Amino acid sequence: MEDRWEILEQECSHCRECALCQTRKNVVFGVGNPQAEIMLVGEGPGANEDEQGIPFVGKAGQFLDDMLAIIGLDRTLVYIANIVKCRPPGNRDPLNVEQDACIGYLRRQIALIQPKILVSLGRIAAMRLIDPKFRITREHGVWFDVDGMRMMALYHPSALLRDPGKRPETFDDLKSLQKEVGRVCTHTELKKLW
């Protein structure tokens, strides 16, 4: 049967497939334009996201907005989600069992959106979506063809806040993203960016 956005969001909001449901305040489903040609995927909600039910609303989120603005993008032009929809306590990395329990929701979001470009934010998302052996230090900014999408990884905004030394490389990666958007995206608002 054809999937529907409302059904998916509803199912996800009641999810009890892993232990993270016991400590969450809110399920953080995703935010942005469901018709977006560009999707960004982080690892999992932090404390602010858990409070508000919206991805990337804390310091890392503000930095992500700044990164997008450098290449003329904003949240109306992309869709943002995470590998796991509930906060791992203490901001630890999501466990494999938690990722396994949750990844189906992201796969269904991707199938509904059908983005042309998917950007992993950080190592955890890249290992899940691009290659289990993904090495973020070596492979950030590199383009991959996966399941009919163009995929690349950027350093996670939190890593860029912790280590400003990584920012010049990320600037180059963002320029590469901008170029790829111009090449493969068709929405008129995006065509202007190239």
**88 near ligand URA (CB under 6 A):** no
Q: Which amino acid is at 103?
A: I
**56 near ligand URA (CB under 6 A):** yes
Q: Which stretch binds ligand URA (CB under 6 A): 2-10, 11-19, 39-47, 132-140?
A: 39-47
Give 46 or 141: the residue with its C-beta nearer to ligand URA.
Answer: 46
Look up residue 21 and give its two tokens.
């449901």
**181 near ligand URA (CB under 6 A):** no
**46 near ligand URA (CB under 6 A):** yes
Q: Are strands 117-121 and 38-42 parallel, antiparallel or unpaired?
A: parallel
Q: Which stretch binds ligand URA (CB under 6 A): 53-61, 95-103, 130-138, 180-188?
A: 53-61
Options 15, 60, 77, 136; binder of ligand URA; rule CB under 6 A: 60
- Which parts of the chain are beta strand (E)? 31-32, 38-42, 78-82, 117-121, 144-146, 149-154
Options 30, 55, 94, 141; binder of ligand URA; rule CB under 6 A: 55
CA distance 156 to 94: 15
At CA 76, angle to CA 73 and CA 88, rounded to 5? 90
Look at residues 155, 45, 23, 29 and name the one whose alpha carbon lies nearest to residue 94.
45
Q: How near is the Cβ of 125 to ligand URA at its closest, in Å?
A: 7
CA distance 154 to 69: 15
Give 88 or 115: the residue with its C-beta nearer to ligand URA.
Answer: 88
Q: Which residues bind ligand URA (CB under 6 A)?
A: 42-46, 49, 55-56, 60, 82, 121
